[in-house]
Amino acid sequence: MNGQLAEQKQSFSKQPASSQPGKWKAFYYKFRKNKLAMAGGVVIVFYLLVALLAPLIAPHDPYLVDLVNKLKPPSAEHLLGTDDKGRDVLSRLIYGTRLSLAVGFVAVLIGAFFGIILGLLAGYYGKWVDTVIMRVVDVLLAFPGILLALAIVSALGPSLVNVMIAVGVFSIPMFARIVRGSTLTVKKLEYIDAIRSLGAGDARIIFVHILPNIMSPIIVQATLRIATAILSAAGLSFLGLGAQPPMAEWGAMLSNGRDFMFTVPTLALFPGIAISTLVIGFNVFGDGLRDALDPRMKQ
């Protein structure tokens, strides 16, 4: 009898999750048919490689001041020209890729970590736990994200680290609501009742059997949220609340370039193109992930 129970428990612990090879093959087949999403993936990979190889591919020191050659147009020596302090714009764009991606990933990690924990607790335990958590989430959702980030950065002080925290905080409610809804669905399935009857504790049920089976919407939301985080961080830096001089950050470069819109428009043009292409890349890639991971979407 004990051997039979152990065998049943082992079979339940191997409950199929979204990482099954067959499901991943089906996901890849559907995803690669979305040419726009594939293009978004190429853009993301390109920027990731630029960020990783920045010291090798940057033609100049991004922080080297050369007032003699300030505000130079694009040339063979400076492919995208120089800014008002003579710094190479291309090199600053390349190093700015690191900062923008770091802000996006760190902010989303902060939002996802706390959002997932809150969503799992609210969805699994319900009752007063659900009520308290979701009312706090509703309060956060009552504020527009950028205004909430502005308030947080104003309280903590202008810096790139505080921007990551601020953007991460206003990302928490989205993850919490998505995880709560998915948890409410999964916890009603029969295999969860069977696992509980075999003596599994709440922590094991939540993190071993529920969380792996709700990863699809979390991954999609995280991908889309990175684009929002990058755009929000650039906006805060543009307002002077994010990256501080002389940091090579795209939003700060865009803010600096607006003073020379009529004399050297490329100073604002190139950072704007970099922000736009990266944000669009993450958005279309996230849309492709959503369509490929959603079983209701038929190709």
Q: Are 234 and 100 in contact (CB under 8 A)?
A: yes
Q: Are 267 and 80 in contact (CB under 8 A)?
A: no
Residue (of 63, 122, 78) closest to 247 by Cα position: 63
Q: Which residue has the higher pLDDT, 164 or 246?
A: 164
- Per-domain residue ranges for the chain? 41-51+89-293
- pLDDT tens-digit series, residues 60-79: 888 888 888 888 888 888 88
Confidence of residue 15 (pLDDT cuts 50, 70, 90): very low
Name the superfamily (CATH) of residues 41-51+89-293: MetI-like (1.10.3720.10)
- pLDDT tens-digit series, residues 37-62: 889 899 999 999 999 999 999 888 88
Percentage helix, strand, coil for the chain under 3-state DSSP, each rounded to 5: 75, 0, 25
pTM exceeds 0.75 = yes
Residue (of 95, 75, 73) closest to 83 by Cα position: 73
User: Whole-number mean pLDDT of the chain?
Assistant: 83
Alpha-carbon Rg for the chain in angstroms: 23
Cα 44 to chain centroid distance, Å, stands at: 12
Count of CB atoms within 10 A of residue 185's CB?
12
Torsion sign over Cα 259, 261, 265, 266:
positive
